Structure 1
């Protein structure tokens, strides 16, 4: 899954009408602007450190960051002056698109989190975690086997080096393990607990862990076989938010959420901002309002997508998480 994702993002136009999927920042500029203002409020909660790193994992075409910076510059210029933008991106073609969108506003690009400079940071990740590789375990008789891919098809081997698996499960049941995501979150949470800051992730998956096969692929905005053409389709899996929150707390950070994306974005004023954009540009009003509805409505992305934030344990609950357990 990791090798396929690396090849996929390095070799094709993945995002947008001509690609295989469309992300929230590409639907509405209000999305990025609201996340930028979320970061601005968190910066104030942190005591307005300067400088501060504004980091995005999986920044796509740079749309979210461009919209966030525009909103920040308008609403809180002091934060705009204090922040330094860092993008974590491995695809050369996407780095080029990000450079076009952001110009000289990027302090540096990084292949992974290990080269990020030290210091307080505010971190964003939209539809990043779902692309990290998962492991799958299948109930066979009284035990479990692990599922692998060999010669373009699934094969199974006795499960080893695995997390606790359910004692009771029906034959053929599948338990997924977001091992790569858990390792990533543990590293990030350790950093936030030691150096200060907060991280916000928006992605899709259930609020609670459970059995099920969520591995899926998209090609041309339609469902595809994940094994048919590795490296040429978008392969993702559901994010286990509850497990990631537990990992973050174990590593010393506070974790808030997950909360449904629809409620989170509404609390940030996305619908109001979309209405303002619609009034300012009547020729795009229908598109703006439709996009906002898709982002927040339960039957759209509002319920399946969740928001999770990690932060320094002494920070108050960030905007949108005020009633979420710490």
Structure 2
């Protein structure tokens, strides 16, 4: 990508703000991330961040076996596999390789808009079918859908507590610099009652885009059968806090600088997603930490087997296991949604 491309995005945003006034955080985030993901592979040591599937094959393998076990206990129906925001395709490649040993080999569908990442995915899962959004996923069979670090990149609204009430947070442009400002007032009724009297400066985040996509998938699973597994960093809300952040070169950056050149994310409110699933006739699991989930699926045994097969890599395998279960173990949460008639998924026992 050329410097001119970067300037054109910043210029377009600055021009829009100059002509029409400050824009909502959600609009700024959507424009920045659309450009960011369309123009690069952001993963790995040479990129901006690393996801769990890129840390170790164990992550994808255990998810594949999780899906195969659920499918087996559901009676081995014909299903379709879907992944939202599949990165390089590593998770699905590892998952389906492991699951195939149990007879689970469904057709693969990727929800991905980035041409750069689609090319990477095609190298790892060449038989996949690609979709621009979830609405075109198969409608005639149950779906097993995985969304790992997908919802955190979707646009959020931020509501800030002013002295005289709540307002939506917008982005203004001052001397070519993008800065957050308090914008239009919002009715107190849309603020969770327990948070309405928060101190001035307090911020609440919502993600209508996430809820809309999650509800669409939950609706399909509730009616067609199947399950969805969501893994992301987040919390069980409602809660006060500004979680909007930017990452570039594996370090934190200012989310309002260089739009389109940083990965913008926000923590996922798993309680809101679980409630959305219920409204659509699907059944949410408890929310658990990624560490507890992977341990319940047997990451300890898998790590031991890999170390036995490759003794020279034993220390690295143990470090990867610990990174997935300890370093990321509590910050990252896991939520499953299943069709009412399907069995309870593994990994969520109290």
Common fold, TM-score beyond 0.5?
yes
* Aligned counterpart, 2:19: none
* Structure 2 segments unaligned to the other structure (5+ residues): 1-28
Q: Secondary structure at the match of 1:257?
A: coil
Instruction: Please give the secondary structure, in 1, of the residue aligned with 2:124.
Output: helix
Q: CA–CA distance in 1 between the matches of 2:158 and 2:73?
A: 40
Note if contact 1:147-1:155 (Cα within 8 Å) is conserved in structure 2. yes
- Tell me how far 1:283 sits from its aligned partner: 2.8
CA contact (8 A) 2:245 2:266 kept: yes
CA contact (8 A) 1:217 1:235 kept: yes
Match of 1:114 in 2: 135
Q: Are 1:274 and 2:300 matched, yes or no?
A: no
Query: What residue in structure 2 maps to residue 211 of structure 1?
Result: 240
Does the 8 Å contact 2:74/2:343 carry over to 1? no
Matches within 5 A, 1:89-100: 89-100=112-123
Alignment partner of 1:30 out of 50, 58, 67: 58
Measure, in 1, the Cα distance between the counterparts of 2:210 and 2:292: 24
CA apart distance, 1:278: 1.8
Q: Post-superposition, which runs of at least 4 consecutive aligned residues in structure 1 deviate over 4 A?
A: none
Partner of 1:184: 213
Shift of 1:322: 3.2
From 90, 102, 108, the equivalent of 1:85 is 108
CA distance in 1: counterparts of 2:190 and 2:334, whole angstroms: 25
Equivalent residues in 2 for 1:7-46, closer than 5 Å: 7-46=35-74
Shift of 1:288: 1.4
Which residue number corresponds to residue 125 of structure 2? 102
The answer on whether the counterparts of 1:24 and 1:295 sit within 8 Å (CA) in structure 2 is yes
2:152 maps to 1:130: yes
Give per-residue Cα distances to partners, 1:28-49, cap 9 Å, x unaligned. Answer: 1010000000010111232211
1:58 aligns with 2:85: yes
Contact 2:172-2:181 at 8 Å conserved across structures: yes
TM-score (norm 1): 0.93
Kindly indicate whether the alpha-carbon contact (under 8 Å) linking 1:199 and 1:310 is maintained by their aligned counterparts in 2. yes
Q: 2 CA distance for matches of 1:148 and 1:214?
A: 15
Residue deviations 1:205-237 (CA, integer Å, cap 9, x gap): 123431000000111100101111111111100
Question: 1:257: Cα distance to partner?
Answer: 2.1
The aligned length equals 314
Q: What corresponds to 1:49 in structure 2?
A: 77
| Secondary structure of residue in 2 paired with 1:205 | strand
- Match of 1:200, SS state, is strand
Partner SS, residue 17 of structure 1: coil
**What's 1:309 paired with?**
336
Q: CA deviation at 1:277?
A: 1.1
Cα displacement string for residues 107-145 of structure 1 (whole angstroms, at most 9, x for unaligned residues): x10010011111201000111110011000000113101
Correspondence for 2:224 among 189, 195, 217: 195
Q: 1:315 offset after TM fit, Å?
A: 2.1
Query: Helix, strand or coil for the counterpart of 1:16?
Result: coil
**3-state SS in 2 of match to 1:117:** coil
- The Cα of 1:163 is off from its aligned counterpart by 3.2
User: Bigger radius of gyration, 1 or 2?
Assistant: 2
- The CA distance in 1 between the partners of 2:269 and 2:185, in whole Å, is 20
Q: What is residue 169 of structure 1 aligned with on the other side?
A: 198
Matches within 5 A, 1:221-240: 221-240=250-269
Q: How far apart in 1 are the matches of 2:337 and 2:316?
A: 33
- Quote the residue 2:24 is aligned against: none
- Structure 1 distance, partners of 2:72, 2:305, is 25
Q: Identify the range of structure 1 (140-149 vs 215-224) with the bigger mean alpha-carbon deviation.
A: 140-149
Distance in 1, Cα, partners of 2:281 & 2:152: 23
Whether the aligned pair in 2 keeps the contact of 1:207 and 1:306 (CA below 8 Å) is no
RMSD, aligned CA = 1.3
Q: 5+ residue gaps in structure 1?
A: none
Q: What is the CA distance between 1:153 and its match in structure 2?
A: 1.4
2:318 aligned to which of 266, 289, 292: 289
> Does 1:154 pair with 2:180?
yes
Q: Structure 2 vs 1, CA of residues 142 and 45 (structure 1 numbering), >3 Å: closer, same or farther?
A: farther
2:3 corresponds to: none
